[in-house]
Amino acid sequence: MRKVDLLRMKRAASVSMIFVLSASMLAGCEKKGEDKKETKDPYKNAIFRDAKASTEDRVKDLMSKMDIKDKVAQMIMAERNVEGGGAAYNMVTQYGLGAMLSGGGSAPVTGNEAQDWNDEINKYKEAASESKFGIPILYGVDSVHGNSNVYGTTIFPHQIGLGATDDEDLVERIGNITASETRAIGSNYAFSPVLGVAYDEHWGRFYECFGENTDLVTRLGTAYVNGLQGRKDSDDFMSQDHLLCSIKHFVGEGQVKNGYNQGNVEMDEKEWDDKLKNDIIKPYVSAIEAGAKTLMVSYNSINGVNCHENKELITDYLKGELGFKGIVISDYDGVEHCKGSDYKFQLRDCVNAGVDMLMEPLDWQNCYHTLLNLVRDGSVSEERIDDAVSRILTVKFDSGLFEEEINSKKEQDQMKQIGSDEHRAVAREAVSKSLTLLKNEKMSDGNTAIQDLAAANKIAVMGEAADDIGTQCGGWTISWTGNKGKTTIGTTILEGFKEVAKDKEFEYVDSAEHISDGTQAVVIVAGEDPYSETQGDSTGFGLFLDDEGTTMITEAKEKFGDSIPIVVILVTGRPLTLKDNIDNIDALMSAWLPGSECAGIADVLFGDKEFSGKTPVTWPVTSFDISDKLTDDSVVLFKYGTGLKKDGSAI
Ligand code: BGC
Ligand code: BGC
């Protein structure tokens, strides 16, 4: 078990003790809260409450009234109330916490329907409105491919699939819908998009990126930000149709050695400086210009220094040289990634490096008290706290949070639109556009394998992933890691086939042996099971197509030879080694991690739509070739940008 996990468990145990104590203490506070409601609001006429006053004046006024405890509380982001930690509603009121989150899969105890989330998040917002100054909270969720924690929402392809579409307009529309479905549950803050430039597909977060090309990441990342927040110079910017986003993770996560999640970037100083400033910074700069107001620090280190404690990077470069005025937020338990020997030193170094908001989900009380002590003993200056808090308040004022009605009529309307046909149609379009045809052989009749598939009347379908919503959605869906099975509402690849090509017969079999006579084409769906973060890291021998996939392909070829097309659809977050299979495949495509609307695949294979996806990553012959794939063509199976059409020509 990693140190951080151990720490998390230890802390969880101690937090639950604090919990027992604070529950009884808080019983008293609730009473005080009731008294408070009856007394007149002392800040009713304060400048900070005046929507017409300038943000600068409002921040100044509010800060002048806040004491150090109020300020430190604004810097905290706590997890919702979960066993072992988090913050209950009354703690938000009592402390005046700045922000809350639901981590991956952290659904309300009442259930995982949108209404459960809406009820809970609005109770947190009410709790914040009853705090000393009534400063609204940010409530963050990982809406990384749609509002993907919540049952019944529209789940879009993961970013790697959107990279294959290279379609900025589509990505912006996806951002719009994601914002609306996230706003619907009361959340005003999405931890998205990922702007890392992916390089080594051993990395378990490869699929969270748009691809390996900085220009592609820059264009699509900016489009996503425009979609989530609204266009900067329009009336729509940060309207109730949109929300704040956190661009993440800053910076270098795609460059770590061997693709280890949370690993280390090993480059000499000059090489790193050049890589950072002339290359991988571009997506961030462009997103910030488009109005991105918050940025999440990355778990990785650069030459041994974790980004969370890198003052040169955060304060000197990002806030100084690049002039970033927004909020820098730490990643989940990110403080513990600093090298200090004790939590106190880790927190000191993290805040002094320039982190403004601390995502300390279960452990937030420890964070709060430790930070107060660090200010008291002079280890963290009041100026640093003031800088952090004024950034937080500026973003809150600028995005209209103080004027927002809790559970507005608009929000209730948005609830009705969750998973609507209109939203799902856009996801289906994205699935079609991301489908990337990599190989399409000519068959003996002179047609391509894909043309023969389209003409076939009787088609055999194999592979668990063909009929599995959970696998198609991948990680960060309903739970943190994602799960196989019928985890949410949607259409599987097989269901899509039947829906779109009603006149054809589809026979779903578990092995080539069971394919019946008269079959005119075989479709095999294979790839990866869901995973997220470090758990998805695949090193050494990893990244080969699994045995199940290989067996299906080999047996189908043995049985049919070249007589009918053997078509393979990969459901995968990254290139897989196909060396032993490629000769047995007549047509190969990657659907990436398509999400909930897989009829989009049938729209291309059996409908009028043409293929338009192009691989956003260079596909090596084997996973051992990854380190050479950008410099040696002989180890490349499919070049960056490869994408074929139905007739076999290149897009
Ligand atoms: C991930 C972030 C995510 C956060 C909150 C972290 O583990 O690295 O991408 O936003 O958790 O769930
Ligand atoms: C949380 C995720 C978070 C992860 C960090 C999980 O327990 O649910 O949101 O990203 O821990 O390691």
Pocket probe for ligand 2: among 332, 333, 532, the residue whose CB has the most ligand atoms within 8 Å is: 332
Q: Residue 208 CA: which ligand 1 atom is closest?
A: 9
CB of 191 shorter than 6 A to ligand 1: yes
Ligand found nearest the CA of 299 = 1
Q: How far is the CA of 58 from the centre of ligand 1 (A)?
A: 31
Pocket probe for ligand 1: among 139, 191, 206, 244, the residue whose CB has the most ligand atoms within 8 Å is: 191
The reply to whether 533 belongs to the active site is yes
Segment 319-339 mean pLDDT: 98
pLDDT in the model for residue 540: 62
- Indicate the average pLDDT of the chain: 94
**β-strand 294-297 against 244-250: which pairing, if any?**
parallel
Distance CA 112, CA 180 (A): 18
Distance CA 621, CA 486 (A): 33
Catalogue all structural domains in the chain, each as residue range(s) with its CATH number.
Answer: 77-416 (3.20.20.300), 435-638 (3.40.50.1700)
Q: How far is the CA of 585 from the centre of ligand 2 (A)?
A: 38
pLDDT in the model for residue 88: 97
Distance CA 628, CA 421 (A): 45
Q: Which of 19-33, 180-194, 342-356, 555-569 has the lowest mean pLDDT?
A: 19-33
Q: How far is the CA of 262 from the centre of ligand 1 (A)?
A: 12
pLDDT one-digit tens code per residue, 369-410: 999 999 999 999 999 999 999 999 999 999 999 999 999 999
Q: Residue 142 CA: which ligand 2 atom is closest?
A: 9
Point out the catalytic residue in the list 167, 201, 452, 533: 533
Residue 3 has pLDDT above 80, yes or no: no
Distance CA 181, CA 194 (A): 19
CA 587 to chain CA centroid, nearest Å: 31
Pocket probe for ligand 2: among 298, 479, 480, the residue whose CB has the most ligand atoms within 8 Å is: 480
CB of 104 shorter than 6 A to ligand 1: yes
Q: Report the nearest-CA residue for atom 2 of ligand 1.
A: 331
Q: Which helix (H) or strand (E) holds 124?
A: helix 114-129
Residue 174 has pLDDT above 90, yes or no: yes
Point out the catalytic residue in the list 70, 167, 208, 331: 331
Segment 564-572 mean pLDDT: 98
Pocket probe for ligand 1: among 329, 331, 357, 531, the residue whose CB has the most ligand atoms within 8 Å is: 331
Region of 101 on the Ramachandran plot (φ > 0 left; ψ -120 to 50 alpha; else beta): beta
* Residue 338 · residue 308 · CB < 8 Å: yes
pLDDT one-digit tens code per residue, 422-469: 999 999 999 999 999 999 999 999 999 999 999 999 999 999 999 999
Percent of the chain at pLDDT > 90 equals 92
φ/ψ (deg, to 5) at 550: -65, -45
pLDDT in the model for residue 40: 75
- The counts of H helices and E strands in the chain are 21, 19
Q: How far is the CA of 521 from the centre of ligand 2 (A)?
A: 43
Could you give the dihedral angle defined by the CA atoms of residues 245, 249, 255 and 259, in that order, rounded to the nearest 10 degrees? Answer: -110
CB of 248 shorter than 6 A to ligand 1: yes
Percent of the chain at pLDDT > 70 equals 94
Residue list, ligand 2 pocket, CB within 6 Å: 103-106, 332, 480, 533
Residue written as tokens 């890198």? 310
pLDDT band at 1 (very low <50, low <70, confident <90, very high): very low
Burial of 110 (0-12, 13-18, 19+ CB in 10 A): exposed
Ligand found nearest the CA of 534 = 2
* Residue 466 · residue 492 · CB < 8 Å: yes
Q: How far is the CA of 142 from the centre of ligand 1 (A)?
A: 7
Q: Report the nearest-CA residue for atom 8 of ligand 2.
A: 104
pLDDT band at 541 (very low <50, low <70, confident <90, very high): low
pLDDT band at 36 (very low <50, low <70, confident <90, very high): very low
Token readout for 239 is 């309207």
Q: How far is the CA of 141 from the centre of ligand 2 (A)?
A: 11
SS3 helix, strand, coil % of the chain, rounded to 5?
A: 45, 15, 40
Q: Report the nearest-CA residue for atom 12 of ligand 2.
A: 332
CB of 242 shorter than 6 A to ligand 1: no
Residue 477's beta-bridge partner residues? 479
Residue 27 has pLDDT above 70, yes or no: no
pLDDT in the model for residue 26: 44
Q: How far is the CA of 570 from the centre of ligand 2 (A)?
A: 27
φ/ψ (deg, to 5) at 202: -65, -25
pLDDT one-digit tens code per residue, 131-158: 999 999 999 999 999 999 999 999 999 9
pLDDT band at 41 (very low <50, low <70, confident <90, very high): confident
* Residue 494 · residue 506 · CB < 8 Å: yes
Residue 286 has pLDDT above 80, yes or no: yes
Distance CA 573, CA 513 (A): 29
* Residue 378 · residue 384 · CB < 8 Å: no
Q: How far is the CA of 574 from the centre of ligand 2 (A)?
A: 22
Full strand arrangement of the beta sheet holding 301-302: 264-265, 301-302, 305-306
Residues making up the chain, counted from first to last = 651
CA triple 89-350-66, angle to 5 deg: 50
3-state secondary structure 150-162: CCCCCCCCCHHHH
